């Protein structure tokens, strides 16, 4: 996609298998698609069909009036009023993982795996009031395998049915994820049938949801499963991706890591972080923003289909054409981010940010369908990264640049894992 922009400019047109596909790489034009003309576009069916295989018919995959209803119902679960409680769960889960992160004073660890296990534990506590448990690594393997399978399916013209013999591993992976969520729902139903008080977690809130106008009697167990699955996958995988690349950025830029650690020490004074501390960790938050600029978790997966002929800037997009937007391309455009390959958190000072067009930085999308969990994700990133810097130092090793090899399987991950060297402070 970067080559397309370099060769043909900010708007490109291709025909693939008879379909018109437009690549749009300018922030102003991207905002026209996602914000100004959001009602004139829907999502591309192929992508949604693939996501439904894993996540079901959740907020992420529905459209029209059903999506509006569910968005309205679910939005209060991500309000600032709830973030303080979520933050306490995040800090407790992170403490358990980080206190045993390394056994020696200096050690090379699989940082990607650690961040995935940590964020999975956080999302399990937030959703179900339970830790990830002994099946966490099995779940991680299933997610990784299914992500590789489904991203290939998304960009393939022909997909073979899942019942075929050579797809046994795919079927096992889907069973692992389904069993994880269904077990929690069944356990909660059993609790409630015995007179237990409702829990104040994501699952409890879903079970209690009603439409404001009373027209909807609430969610059935199938839809509760789908919403829980989407929250589980999106709520930990995206954050794990961002934190993994943040660790790489801290290793590769020790002066930035030292400055962020000094800020954490000054603001927290050795105590655990709280939700109220996050706005004070200004430089640390800029390191996270700069990480998501260079390594956006959703690097290319923003696509739309025109429901009618529509003008985007001076270009005419015909009805039925597909539009592909790429955060990766716009985030690495030197017009908006000079010397774009350099890691520079001060790009995100208030003054520097105000000089860029809106839409130049969109790690969570934009418009009505902006990620509903973006505040949850940013809260988790800030708290976890602060706790890592309180406890450990990153060390640059000769092979660290080998980790800078991203691959895209729904979220952006290092192709060969992320082994980083840390020492205790």
The angle that helices 254-268 and 221-252 make with each other, rounded to 10 degrees, is 120
Three-state DSSP at 408 gives strand
Alpha-carbon torsion (113, 117, 118, 119), positive or negative: positive
Tell me which DSSP letter residue 119 carries: H
Give the span between the Cα atoms of 297 and 43, in whole angstroms.
19
Tokens representing 328? 């990766």
Q: How far is CA 311 from the centre of its chain?
A: 30
CA atoms within 13 A on the CB side of 398: 0
Give the span between the Cα atoms of 39 and 281, in whole angstroms.
37
In contact, 384 and 368? CB cutoff 8 Å = no
Scan for tokens 């596909």, then name that residue: 21
- Residue 371 marked ligand-binding: yes
Alpha-carbon torsion (405, 423, 297, 182), positive or negative: positive
Residues present in the chain in total? 425
Q: CA nearest 72: which of 365, 372, 364, 366? A: 372
- What are the DSSP calls for 380-416, one per residue? HHHHHHHHHHHHEEEE--TTGGGG--EEEESEEEETT
Q: CA nearest 371: which of 216, 205, 231? A: 231
52-55-57 Cα angle (round to 5) = 60
- Longest Cα separation, the chain: 65
Give the span between the Cα atoms of 93 and 90, in whole angstroms.
5
Binding residues, by number, are 371
Q: Binding site residues for heme, as ranges?
A: 371
């Amino acid at each position: 996609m970067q080559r397309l922009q370099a060769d043909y400019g900010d708007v490109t047109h291709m025909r693939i298998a008879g379909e018109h596909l437009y690549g749009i790489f300018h922030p102003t034009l991207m905002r026209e698609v996602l914000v100004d003309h959001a009602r004139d576009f829907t999502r591309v069916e192929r992508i949604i069909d693939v996501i439904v295989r894993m996540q079901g018919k959740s907020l992420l995959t529905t459209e029209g009036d059903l999506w509006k209803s569910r968005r309205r119902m679910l939005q209060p679960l991500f309000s600032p009023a709830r973030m303080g409680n979520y933050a306490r769960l995040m800090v407790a889960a992170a403490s358990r993982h980080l206190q045993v992160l390394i056994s020696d004073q200096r050690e090379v660890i699989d940082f990607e795996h650690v961040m995935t296990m940590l964020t999975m534990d956080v999302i399990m506590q937030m959703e179900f009031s339970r830790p990830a448990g002994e099946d966490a690594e099995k779940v991680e393997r299933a997610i990784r395998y299914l992500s590789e399978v489904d991203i290939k399916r998304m960009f393939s013209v022909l997909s073979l049915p899942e019942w075929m013999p050579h797809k046994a591993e795919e079927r096992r992976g889907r069973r692992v994820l389904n069993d994880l969520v269904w077990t929690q729902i069944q356990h909660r139903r059993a609790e409630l049938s015995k007179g237990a008080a409702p829990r104040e977690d994501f699952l409890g809130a879903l079970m209690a949801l009603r439409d404001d106008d009373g027209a909807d009697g609430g969610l059935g167990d199938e839809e509760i499963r789908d919403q829980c699955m989407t929250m589980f996958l999106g709520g930990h995988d995206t954050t794990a991706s961002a934190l993994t690349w943040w660790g790489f950025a801290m290793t590769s830029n020790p002066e930035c890591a030292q400055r962020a650690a000094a800020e954490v020490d000054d603001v927290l004074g050795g105590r655990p972080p709280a939700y109220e501390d996050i706005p004070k960790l200004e430089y640390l938050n800029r390191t996270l923003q700069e990480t998501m600029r260079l390594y956006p978790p959703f690097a290319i997966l923003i696509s739309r289909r025109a429901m009618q002929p529509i003008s985007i800037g001076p270009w005419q997009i015909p009805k039925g054409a597909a539009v592909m937007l790429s955060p990766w391309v716009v985030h690495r455009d030197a017009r908006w981010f000079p010397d774009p390959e350099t890691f520079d958190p001060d790009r995100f000072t208030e003054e520097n940010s105000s000089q860029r067009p809106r839409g130049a930085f969109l790690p969570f999308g934009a418009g009505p369908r902006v990620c509903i969990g973006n505040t949850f994700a940013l809260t988790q990133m800030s708290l976890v990264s602060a706790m890592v810097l309180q406890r450990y130092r990153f060390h640059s090793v000769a092979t660290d640049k080998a980790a800078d090899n991203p691959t895209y399987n729904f979220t952006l991950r290092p192709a060969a894992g992320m082994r980083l060297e840390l020492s205790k402070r």
